[in-house]
Structure 1
Amino acid sequence: MATHSELIQTERNAIKYSVWGNLVMGLLGLGFAAASHSYAVLLDSVYSLVSFTASLFSLKVTEMIMRPANKDYPFGYAIYEPMFNLGKGLVIFTVCLLALYSSIEALFHGGREIAAGIAFFYAVSTAVVCLVIARILYHYAKRCESPIVSVDAKNWILDGILSAVIGGALLVVYLLEESRFKAWLPYADPVAVILLVMLFLPIPYRIIRDNWAQVLGRNTDPEIRGLSEEAVRECFHGKPVQETEIRALRAGRFIYLQVFIVVARDEAWPRKVRDEDEYRETLRRRLGEKFRYLIIDVVFTTDEKWINQVPEVES
């Protein structure tokens, strides 16, 4: 199994791959958008440049979240990962809404004249490149279990689909340029943008929804709790345990797990702190096979009040 430093290096390599890819695609898109006068191509290039800027920030975030806890950040820096992904989702969502507004406005003002042949060549080439890069990034994301790289891969798929659909629409426009439908062709570009925005708005919406829940401290992953309950049952099978309480929280790639073990007051188990540490280690190893970035805390107590603590306010 790869070490954490090796995984982080793999993640950073993947992000650098995405950084340069987005920059190249964004600059090429701007050039082709200027030549073809297509807002659909412009949307594609702006999307790439937004992803380029976000990828630069993600290099800093991946370094920051692995720092140890300190007096200023007693629980570490893990919360920055969902915060970053949340911001990225919001930016993408905003770009989509601006493109939607611009295209609806164009529909009411005669549409847009475009050079369909030039735009078609760009769109098809971009679609192929984007989908290839997405496949590579998904491979990296699986290897290093990185939510940041995973979001990047989704963005490249989004960009690839965007370019492919634009290419299809532009091909139709090119083929119909000398037909009796020529008067309607200026509306093809804004209609294509509107359809594209409606098609992939759910993707940034899901990114925003999931990472906002993590920022709020709400667990949205039932798999974590299910596997944790199973591991606790097996680990403490046959022991005089009255009750268990499991609390799980995801913050980016990190899983925070708090397990309360309630033991009867007259029981002699566990006898030593060393015994408690052995069970903590057993549980950590078991769950660590599934969750690489696991932080676990096991609390042994004979009083259930420690499970649901409330402030004692004097009346």
Structure 2
Amino acid sequence: MVDVTAEAAALGERRALTASLVTSGVLGLGAILWGLAARADVLVFDGIYMVAGIALVAVSLLASHAAASEPSHRFPFGRHAATPLTVAMQGAAILATLVYGAVSAVATLVAGGSQAAGSAILAYGVVSGVIAVLVAVWLHRLSPDGELARAEIVSWRAGAAMSAVVAVGGLVAILLVDNGYDRAASFVDPVLVLVAVASVAPLPVRLMREGVHELLEGSAPADVMAAVERAVDEGRAGFDLPDPLVRATKLGRRLYVEVDFVVEEARWDVDAEDRVRRAVVGALEQLPFDLWATVELTTDRELAE
């Protein structure tokens, strides 16, 4: 049976990624040209940051298609690992871009600063910040639960934060020039790059950490675990069963759940165990994931643990 909800979610995610791809390309190229014309390193850096994101979005689109594909002989469990792998790669690539920006800014400071116009920096910061916020909201509406889309939303929010810093820096540069501090104003551009890098750095680190956590089959997030435990309690209601041992891990949109009940000997047969399985799995299937569940009844605690 086709999971209509999962298909709709995958379609929404691909639409969000495509929208992000197109917008990144247009805004990134515009930022680079604007930055070169204004001789502002921070604008060029922001443009490179967005253009580099185009390749990442393209990879995300491929990962979305892979994760949504049916299991095959070669991949009997599907290819859901493509999602956290891509999220981790996005984090690493964004972090590398930030390192490049920081090195470039330090080189500019050592060279004596930049002659960028504060008005150009201020105008760009305002325009790009508004666009970044609007795109983040748009992507969230297209795919509110997609992990790959969420990574893109994080990237656009980071861009909005950087734009805010750029706008404030441009205003500071204008005030310094108006008050005769031209030498100090020349350092605003590279300092802005360093501030932007420092403010954005935690975001790609978090993406990398979350992606690697899923790839290593770590415990599902706390909210997901709570939902799993509620579903298990609902499914076992009406059966005289002890508290189960519940394990769960999430890999993209795939949720693996193992539920083990340690029961008394000679009280349960296969038919009764199947009724428990159907009830528990039926409750778990209400969760918004591609479910892979195992429900077992055993009299041997060592087998359960």
Q: TM-score, normalised by structure 2?
A: 0.91
Q: How does 1:199-214 map to 2 (within 5 A)?
A: 199-214=199-214
Match in the other structure for 2:71: 69
Give yes or no for contact 2:42–2:166 (8 Å, CA) kept in 1. yes
Give yes or no for contact 1:26–1:46 (8 Å, CA) kept in 2. yes
Match in the other structure for 1:189: 189
Q: Distance in 2 between matches of 1:233 and 1:31?
A: 59
Which letter maps to 1:302? T
Give yes or no for contact 1:255–1:291 (8 Å, CA) kept in 2. no
Q: TM-score, normalised by structure 1?
A: 0.89
Match in the other structure for 1:219: 219
Q: Distance in 2 between matches of 1:147 and 1:221?
A: 13
**Structure 1: runs of 5 or more not aligned:** 309-315
Q: Secondary structure at the match of 1:232?
A: helix
Match in the other structure for 2:288: 291
Quote how far apart the aligned CAs of 1:238 are. Answer: 5.1
Q: Secondary structure at the match of 1:177?
A: helix
Match in the other structure for 1:18: 20
Q: Secondary structure at the match of 2:25?
A: helix
Q: Distance in 2 between matches of 1:253 and 1:176?
A: 51
Q: Distance in 2 between matches of 1:220 and 1:181?
A: 54
Q: Deviations over 1:261-299 (max 9, x none)?
A: 2222211x3442xx5444334323423334333221212
Match in the other structure for 1:120: 122
Give yes or no for contact 1:240–1:263 (8 Å, CA) kept in 2. no
Q: Distance in 1 between matches of 2:55 and 2:97?
A: 14
Match in the other structure for 1:312: none
Q: Deviations over 1:153-178 (max 9, x none)?
A: 11111111211210221122134324
Which letter maps to 1:55? V
Quote how far apart the aligned CAs of 1:87 are. Answer: 0.4
Q: Distance in 2 between matches of 1:139 and 1:279?
A: 38
1:100 to 91, 99, 102: 102
Q: Distance in 2 between matches of 1:281 and 1:68?
A: 23
Quote how far apart the aligned CAs of 1:128 are. Answer: 0.8
Q: Distance in 2 between matches of 1:305 and 1:70?
A: 33
Quote how far apart the aligned CAs of 1:183 are. Answer: 1.3
**Structure 2: runs of 5 or more not aligned:** none
Quote how far apart the aligned CAs of 1:117 are. Answer: 2.5
Q: Distance in 2 between matches of 1:200 and 1:82?
A: 20
Match in the other structure for 2:82: 80
Quote how far apart the aligned CAs of 1:240 are. Answer: 4.1
Q: Structure 1 pair 239/5, CA: closer, same or farther in 2 (3 Å)?
A: closer
Q: Secondary structure at the match of 1:77?
A: coil
- Greater CA drift, 170-179 or 30-39: 170-179
Q: Share of identical aligned residues, percent?
A: 23
Q: Secondary structure at the match of 2:33?
A: helix
Q: Distance in 2 between matches of 1:101 and 1:82?
A: 29
How many residues are treated as equivalent by the alignment?
Answer: 303
Q: Structure 1 pair 42/306, CA: closer, same or farther in 2 (3 Å)?
A: same
Quote how far apart the aligned CAs of 1:2 are. Answer: 5.5
Give yes or no for contact 1:40–1:166 (8 Å, CA) kept in 2. yes
Q: Secondary structure at the match of 1:261?
A: strand
Alignment RMSD (CA, Å) = 2.1
Which letter maps to 2:253? R
Q: Distance in 1 between matches of 2:17 and 2:40?
A: 29
Q: Secondary structure at the match of 2:297?
A: strand
